[in-house]
Structure 1
């Protein structure tokens, strides 16, 4: 766990990199790091993340009460909900990278079980249902998917990654965006080729051997020979939406 000064330096440096790599634009996006106890260091509201200074950052408790002056990101409730839900998460990055956000705005799932590096690191990347930005709706929309996933698309909004360090959360954001770009190219070439169930099981074993959690069931290809297939509400909505769009 970083000390507060180190955490401030890390967020400022990360914000600059995200801005320079066009993962963030203007005043959008936000980041946070879990400090000692129940204290969270977060980016401020209404400031370009590529030009922040260490003193601009705001410390809050897990209820969102800020220490001293400053106003944290208006989407802080989303960060706090995630920290409360998962004690292993130490940092969060929320951004609007172009390709990934394009999928989120289109309501399109990124393909599951098509790229080994994604299966072994992120599993797959679901879409959280839309929640109005800066409201409790947004926080509520991520609670269920964040239980099983470290990277999410936010419906009609953007993307979110979490990790055991800010560096890991940042790298996961780059990885998510790169995968979204690869997925777009694959679609132009006729669509991605999905791994077999056995292939995903092998990749899941590699993931667990490296210390990762088991690959979530939704990341596996569907075995159509099964009598019963289980989907979450959000997965069912996404499936029906894709089907309706195809028929139009």
Structure 2
């Protein structure tokens, strides 16, 4: 079993990686690990890319009382505690603001299409939880319907959270979420997202279960292929006056980008 200092070092390292890869900026995001006698977590209002061991805060097992540390724990610790309460298999949580993934969340879209085999194998679909004011019960209330059957969530107009049995697995899921969001966006810009068929997805899910990455009760993570009876609660579909999909050819898209750049330059001159 790792020592408390080793767990703190893991948090410092993951904070650095999140910052260097642009998944957080300034004082954004928070990280936690569940240890035998409490919760180790990042401090509030500090850039997580430049943490030291002394900055890590130790909280009581229920997250309500500070046991050690000169800094104060993040005000978003309750979302971590909800995940720990609902998922006994989870021992680490990462909350970040990955740009592309958060863009999907701000636009009102989940990352729930079966596009990439590796994502299905290692992560599953990422649902969109409704908006809640940061550091309030609105956040945890919006997340609650999705935590049991998913290993990562988008948070509307906010960011993303990922979790796992270790901090490395939680971080890996956050990184995969952002990677998938970028691939999905490129496919959209090219005019087509070719989803895998149900038979193809079922084979991948079977493989994932045999490899021990997912238990059979989480099979509904392949969101695009659920029957209506088994679907978990989902956020109301995003609609607005621009809901109609507009498709452009590649040349039209390039011309549009060039024109936007020209207009931007004219505005600066």
Task: Determine if the TM-score, normalized by the shorter chain, exceeds 0.5.
Answer: yes
Checking the alignment, whether the CA contact within 8 Å between 1:94 and 1:159 is kept in structure 2 is yes
| 2:120 equivalent in structure 1 | 119
- The reply on whether 1:199 has 2:196 as its aligned counterpart is no
Partner of 1:216: 219
Question: Aligned partners of 2:111, 2:190: CA distance in 1, in Å?
Answer: 16
| Residues 123-160 of structure 1: per-residue CA shift (max 9 Å, x gap) | 11111111110112112222221100111111110011
Q: Partner of 2:50 in structure 1? A: 51
Report the CA distance between 1:53 and its aligned residue: 1.0
The match for 2:264 is: none
Unaligned runs of 5+ in 1: none
Listed one character per residue, the Cα deviations across residues 20-49 of structure 1 (whole Å, up to 9, x for unaligned) are 111110000000000114x10000011000
Q: Are the equivalent residues in 1 in contact too, given 2:126–2:152 (CA < 8 A)?
A: yes
- TM-score (norm: length of structure 1): 0.90
The answer to whether 1:82 aligns with 2:79 is: no
Report how many residues are paired: 241
Quickly say closer, same or farther: Cα 1:165–1:222, change in 2 above 3 A.
closer
Aligned to 2:252: none
In the other structure, the counterpart of 2:259 is none
1:40 is the counterpart of 2:39: yes
TM-score relative to the length of structure 2: 0.83
1:113–1:200: 8 Å Cα contact kept in structure 2?
yes
Partners of 2:42 and 2:74 within 8 A in 1: yes
CA distance in 1, matches of 2:87, 2:27: 27
1:159-195 Cα deviation digits (max 9, x unpaired) = 1110111111111111110000000000011131111
Cα 1:63–1:52, aligned 2, differ >3 Å: closer, same or farther? closer
Task: Return the index of the structure with the highest Cα Rg.
Answer: 2
| C-alpha distance in 1 between matches for 2:139 and 2:71 | 22
Which structure 2 segments of 5+ residues have no match?
246-269
The answer as to 2:25 corresponding to 1:25 is yes
